[in-house]
Structure 1
């Protein structure tokens, strides 16, 4: 799937000279947590987000330093912090270094960029123009839509057992021969052996992710590999 299939378009935008009051009202009225910042030609010059407004004189949350950090801070750094905490224009608080993506970027790349750079949204730019914005919320909608359903009457027990076995076979954390899945009307019972609690959880997740599975009963035996102690299932 590509960004252009899930992005929000058009992206709400402001200019660097837009007042902070106007930008905040635009965000609140439209229930968004960030805006793109565009110059007079419509080119992307930054983003402004809810996080940019957390250190503000109105909240009493201006940036404060310990006495020794205050001594080390340059006058230019102190002046820049004052502008951010007290400024009245978007240019005073916005983030100027922006990571942007193309409309045909894959969702895998988008997710990795967000995680790597700690950002919640990415502007989508095509031929120098902002055509949309993709946020974590857009990605979560894709995840929610892809999760298997549990509607009654949709289970094919043999297909469920085959799918669980195939997924276990693909994994390297345990041999598939140690776990058996049996399904009846979508209710799966896992039996066999695991060697730590994480393998137990992972086996349950494998079963839960197969379409048509309505419930998973864990009857796996946990064998501690060093001592050989057998820990029975909790249920």
Structure 2
């Protein structure tokens, strides 16, 4: 899955001369937390909701409400925006974007193509993709397995599932640094009574069934 598959294409942007109060209103009205700053069709910065909060004078200030409003009305986003903007392209893999966000502790990045902002992708987009990838809304049963780091072991798992004529809705692999000799597989299957399948999986000498969870009826 690529960024272009999940990004928001209708991006709301502002220019560097936009007053801070106007940027605040845009974020509030549009229910967004970040605005790319574009001058002459070129990305020159980004301003976030937290940036705007930090720019607001403290409540302990001696300035009057009128003075505060006047001060903020004169400030533009150029004074507070981050000029070193992390961006991605539409063809960046989604997992790479997730890693970029984690490493840089940010909640969203502009998507740039041919020097133009063509979209934005946020942590909410990543979360929705994860929910879809794991098949959370598909119902069925969720089976967590502990497997040895051995070539072909996952093929053996899917072979057992096939024997029971059960469809795999999603499958994800995770690793634990404390147990590098194992991989953990979370498999969602289209069956509400996974008993027979779980029993045969458990009989395999190298497969450990760690957890089984059946989706509630209303989620199916």
TM-score category, normalised to shorter length: 0.5 to 0.7
1:132-172 Cα deviation digits (max 9, x unpaired):
000001111111122232259xx989256999xxx79xx83
Residue 20 of structure 2 is aligned to residue 14 of structure 1: no
Corresponding position of 2:54: 55
TM-score, with structure 1 as normaliser = 0.58
2 CA distance for matches of 1:162 and 1:10? Answer: 35
How far apart, CA to CA, are the structure 2 residues paired with 1:159 and 1:140? 31
The residue that corresponds to 2:150 in the other structure is none
Alignment of 1:12-51 (within 5 A): 12-39=12-39, 41-51=40-50
- Cα contact 1:122–1:135 (8 A) shared by 2: yes
In the other structure, the counterpart of 1:150 is 139
Task: Map residues 18-167 of structure 1 onto 2, 5 A cutoff.
Answer: 18-39=18-39, 41-60=40-59, 88-148=75-135, 149-151=138-140, 158=164
Query: TM-score normalised to the size of structure 2?
Result: 0.62
Instruction: Tell me: CA distance 1:126–1:25, structure 2 relative to 1, closer, same or farther (3 Å).
Output: same
Deviation at 1:185, TM superposition (A): 1.8
Determine whether 1:186 maps to 2:186. Answer: no
**Separation of aligned partners in 2, 1:174 and 1:5:** 29
User: How big is each residue's C-alpha offset from its partner over 1:54-90, in whole Å with a ceiling of 9 and x where there is no partner?
Assistant: 324444389xxxxxxxxxxxxxxxxxxxxxx967211
Please say if residues 48 and 93 of structure 1, whose CA atoms lie closer than 8 Å, have aligned partners that are also in contact. yes
Cα pair 2:140 2:192 within 8 Å, conserved: no
> What secondary structure does 2:112 align onto?
strand
Name stretches of at least 5 consecutive residues in structure 2 with no aligned partner.
Answer: 62-70, 142-160, 175-179, 185-190
Q: Counterpart of 1:23 in 2: which secondary structure?
A: helix
Counterparts of 1:157 and 1:60 in 2: how far apart (Å)? Answer: 67
User: Can you give the 5+ residue segments of structure 1 that lack an aligned partner in the other structure?
Assistant: 63-84, 176-182, 193-199, 216-235
Structure number with bigger Rg: 1
Tell me the distance in 1 between the aligned counterparts of 2:117 and 2:60: 33
Asked if structure 2 preserves the Cα contact closer than 8 Å seen for 1:156 and 1:186, the reply is no
Contact 1:16 1:37 in 2 (8 A): yes
- Counterpart for residue 219 of structure 1: none
Secondary structure of 1:47's partner?
strand
Q: Which of 181, 204, 210 lines up with 1:172 in the alignment?
A: 181
What's the C-alpha RMSD, in Å, of the aligned pairs? Answer: 4.0
Query: Which of 203, 206, 209 is the matching residue for 2:210?
Result: 203
**1:22 deviation in Å?**
0.9
Report if aligned partners of 1:54, 1:61 keep a CA contact under 8 Å in 2. Answer: no
